[in-house]
Amino acid sequence: MVLSVLVAVLAVALGYFILNDVTSGGMSPTMAPIVVEATTTIPVEAISIETTPTTLPYTAFKIQVANASKVAGSAGQLTTELQARGFIVQPALNSSEITPKLNSTVVYFLPGSEEAAAVVASALGGVATATMPTPIPTETGSLGEATILILLGTDLAGKQLPAAAPAAPVATTVAPVGAETTTTVAG
């Protein structure tokens, strides 16, 4: 709305100067044509699309499990279960000394490993995912070759993983910001 008013004011001012120049006998040698550009955003309604989640092979990434539950042996147990399902999992570790006891398990990922983190979180029954914190909360402060860290909380410590569920279509809503058009008014 404001942009339309601004374009209109500029058009009126431009018209005044052109008419004034025509009635005075021509264009002044110091005066050049004025070009005004305006950008308008047109909102677009949200579109619902049905998609099937991609299936990233379990062998496409490596996982590190760190015990933040303080339940002895639980990270090793989870490591063994994940390996039995086909994941590549490095030997279990404990969380860093400064990491508090966690009630809820979190799957951390390095940038670019978001899809792998979603696969792992789903295998764990839908736990939360987040970008990798700094420093890395393992007793070694490292992930080795892993791109995914499962910081095991008391919610999954010592428990069996849920049965793997088949992939089902998921409804996704895509809401584009809008289409952009450019209008040029030359005088």
Mean pLDDT of 163-179: 46
CATH topology of domain 58-168: Alpha-Beta Plaits (3.30.70)
The contacts of residue 1 (CB under 8 Å, 6+ apart) are none
**Cα distance between residue 157 and residue 70, in whole Å:** 9
- pLDDT tens digit sequence for 49-67: 444 455 789 999 999 999 9
| pLDDT, tens only, 74-119 | 999 999 999 999 999 999 999 999 999 999 999 999 999 999 999 9
pTM: 0.60
pLDDT digits (tens, 9 = 90+) for 136-157: 999 999 999 999 999 999 999 9
Q: In 33-58, which positions are buried (b, 16+ CB within 10 angstroms) versus exposed (e)?
A: eeeeeeeeeeeeeeeeeeeeeeeeeb
Predicted confidence (pLDDT) at residue 70 exceeds the cutoff of 80 = yes
pLDDT(183) > 70:
no
Domain ranges of the chain: 2-44+177-186, 58-168
